[in-house]
Amino acid sequence: MDDLEKKKLAERNDKIIEYVMSEVESKCKDSVDLIGIGGSFCSGDIYENSDLDLVIIVNDDSARVLNKCFIVGDVGFDIYTQNWSNFEEMAKYHNPYVTKLIDLKIVYKNGDEVVERYMSLQQKLNENMRNNALVMLSIREHFKEVLRAYREILSAQNISIGYRNLADMIVGVEYILYMANKSYVSRGVKRIPEEIGNMEILPEGFMDKYLDITNCTTLEEIREKASAFMDCIEEFLSENRNDYAESTQEEEKEEEKLEITVDDLTGTYEEIYSNWRNKIHHAVQINSRYLSFMVMAACQKFYDEMAERYDIPEIDLIGKYNPDDLAGNAYHFDYALNEWGKLYDRFNKRIEKVDSVEELMEK
């Protein structure tokens, strides 16, 4: 990316921050403690469709008025506030997604004491990352999820279920390896294979299996590759195998589905767009099966969770995954997103999409 394009993105970000700060000033100034820039614009790993990851820490619920999802041009943005409890939980290091407590460029603070509070949680996180006993407990929990997903693959009746659980296996193994290396996901999902490849502690022969695991086109292939993957991680954890392999089967209680409302839907289309749409198309540009698969799987989890809670049509996105047609995967993603948009039509709900930040600020 050339300097001119970077300058345009920086100017866009400044305008969005200006917009957020005006909302804070007029609606909930006393409720916002800290605002920082995380994600790619903190790490510097950006491209033309990178969105702005704003971290907003608040001290009461009145700041929820800041929560907003919108699309500017072809880039989606989701602005969500987080309570201090979210960062206290992050400091426990139960999983490697803790970058917001490590890499953050602070652009607003409501006094020095809030920065001190943030730094104290950062220190606690660093201590917990070095605490072998705590790390081993978390690794054990992630292995239980890997084992559950593997069992589901073995009993799966269709490729869609196979893909869903394969993604869960991959994520669980990634968590285990990050934590075994006392590390964290520092540059987003597309860089995970690169970060894992540079780790000091890895199972023997792991990377070949890992980089090939999303290259499955049949349920039989999924089972074959998942079994090899499982053998690899079990051998890696063999010294504590009995502890890791504890049963996690729980009785599932089926709850009556709710009728979805416009409030339940508001922001969901924009959130899907912000979180995953540009990533699925970026996977085509960089020819990454891994990114294409993991984006489809993550979005599928969102669709599944909504369908479990609300009486709405189910969307099967992951079942359309094809490792040999990344452009086709992007097409199916957009088709599914369009289907989700039809729920907005049910309530005559308009998608929050503008052509410029200035237009957003004028609304």
Considering its fold, how many domains does the chain have in total? Answer: 3
Together in a domain, 230 and 142: yes
Query: Do residues 284 and 318 both lie within one domain?
Result: yes
For residue 234, CA distances in Å to 52, 154, 168 come to 39, 17, 16
Of the residues 244, 271, 300, the one at which a domain ends: 244
pLDDT mean across residues, the chain: 93
> Is residue 94 included in any domain, yes or no?
yes
pLDDT of residue 240: 54
Pair (137, 125) in one structural domain: no
Which residue range is the domain that position 146 belongs to?
Answer: 132-244
| Position 257 in a domain | no
pLDDT reported for residue 352: 94
Same domain assignment for residues 58 and 92 = yes
Q: What is the pLDDT of residue 236?
A: 92
Residue 337 forms part of a structural domain? yes
Report the alpha-carbon distance of residue 69 to residue 81 in Å, rounded: 12
pLDDT band at 239 (very low <50, low <70, confident <90, very high): low
Q: Are residues 26 and 72 in the same domain?
A: yes
Task: Let me know if residue 351 belongs to a domain.
Answer: yes
Instruction: Say yes or no: 35 and 114 in one domain.
Output: yes
Residue 336's pLDDT is what? 98
Question: Does residue 233 sit in the same domain as residue 275?
Answer: no
Phi and psi for 129 in degrees, rounded to 5?
-65, -25
175 and 208 belong to one structural domain: yes
Asked if residue 252 is part of any domain, the answer here is no
Chosen domain end from 129, 154, 173: 129
CA gap 354, 363 in Å, rounded: 10
pLDDT digits (tens, 9 = 90+) for 324-363: 999 999 999 999 999 999 999 999 999 999 998 888 877 6
Residue 126 has pLDDT above 60, yes or no: yes
- Percent of the chain scoring above 70 in pLDDT: 95
**Domain membership flag for residue 153:** yes
Domain boundary among the residues 129, 160, 179 is at: 129
- E strand or H helix at 54: strand 53-58
Q: Are residues 142 and 82 in the same domain?
A: no
If we measure between CA atoms, which residue out of 31, 64, 79 comes closest to residue 357?
79
Q: What is the CATH number of the domain that holds 175?
A: 1.20.120
Residue 253 lies in a domain: no
Is residue 124 located within the same domain as residue 12?
Answer: yes
Whether residues 119 and 225 fall in one domain: no
| Burial of 165 from C-beta contacts in 10 A (0-12 / 13-18 / 19+) | buried
For residue 298, give Cα distances in angstroms to 88, 114, 267, 346.
Answer: 25, 33, 17, 25
Query: In this structure, how many other beta carbons lie within 10 angstroms of the beta carbon of residue 129?
Result: 19
pLDDT of residue 247: 43
Please check whether residue 239 lies inside any domain of the structure: yes
Mean pLDDT for the stretch of residues 10-18: 93
Q: Round to whole Å and give the CA distance between 8 and 299.
A: 29
Q: How does pLDDT run across 259-272, given as a tens digit for each residue?
A: 999 999 999 999 99
Amino acid letter for position 62: S
> Both 205 and 120 in a single domain?
no
pLDDT higher at 92 or 253: 92
Cβ neighbours around 309 below 10 Å, total: 13
Torsion, Cα of 277, 187, 205, 148 (10° steps) = -60
Asked if residue 245 has pLDDT above 50, the reply is no
Global pTM reads 0.90
- Which CATH number is 92's domain given? 3.30.460.10
